[in-house]
Amino acid sequence: MAPAPARPPRLLLCAFGPFPGVPVNPSQQAVRDLLKVSRPALAGLHIRGEILPTRWDALARLDALLDAFAPDGVVLFGVATRRRRVCIETRAVNATRDIPDAARRHPAARRLRTDAPDALFTTADPARLLAALRAFGVPATASRDAGRYLCNASFLEALAWELTLRRGDGGTRRPILFVHLPGRTGRPSGVSRLRMARALSGLVATFAHGARAARRQAR
């Protein structure tokens, strides 16, 4: 009997819904737009897009999604209204501020996870991803961390999930990334929606190289 064909690499793209002060979250539209861009480098991938509610209890939903889908790479997209450039986050911190979510609920504790270190760092390659964005003329920079709200919390959750798997399967490193989009539109000044979609699609295509490598190593 011939062996069953290997499954394609899985890529999870998550955006967020509205929250206080941001009635329309541009990360949702950004993910929808980038998935419409035809890009051969993404052929053969199983890409799943999800919109997470901006709620503290959505972290459990993210955990369940990660376990069920078992992605080889995860890209989370959020919005940072005070920033002017696209930001590649380099780490997540195991802390939060007492800020209400979209349901007006507050975090249960100041420390997000008792089983995680004070900070976890992205397992993706920020330099390559910044270059992918800048190739389309999109201003982008690396950021020290993802803040203390649900963007940071979800990033930490995904990194903690990846670390647990890596410890259990011999060191397979799955790329995990958080991208903050700027302003109310999710685009830097002067960048059209179409150019932004192409740039983010290029970023995901670059990111996918790491996801494919993780899948090959895990087999």
93-150 pLDDT per residue, tens:
999 999 999 999 999 999 999 999 999 999 999 999 999 999 999 999 999 989 999 9
Which backbone phi and psi does 164 adopt, to 5 degrees? -60, -45
Copy the structure tokens of residue 22: 């941001």
Whole-number CA gyration radius for the chain: 17
**Is 179 in contact with 203 (CB distance < 8 Å)?**
yes
Asked if residue 2 has pLDDT above 60, the reply is no
**Is 172 in contact with 119 (CB distance < 8 Å)?**
no
Q: Please list the active-site residues.
A: 89, 151, 180
Rounded distance between C-alpha atoms, residue 201 and residue 173, angstroms: 22
- Quickly name the fold that domain 10-218 has: Aminopeptidase (3.40.630)
Proportion of the chain above pLDDT 70, given as a percent: 97
Rounded distance between C-alpha atoms, residue 48 and residue 61, angstroms: 15
> Strand ranges (DSSP E) for the chain?
10-16, 46-52, 73-80, 86-89, 91-93, 119-121, 140-143, 176-182
User: Average of pLDDT values for 148-172?
Assistant: 91
Copy the structure tokens of residue 209: 């190289």
Q: Which amino acid is at 196?
A: M
Asked which of 60-64, 151-155, 209-213 is least confident by mean pLDDT, the reply is 209-213
pLDDT at 1: 45
pLDDT at 162: 95
User: Average of pLDDT values for 11-22?
Assistant: 92
State the average pLDDT for the chain: 91
Q: Domain spans of the chain?
A: 10-218
User: Average of pLDDT values for 67-90?
Assistant: 95
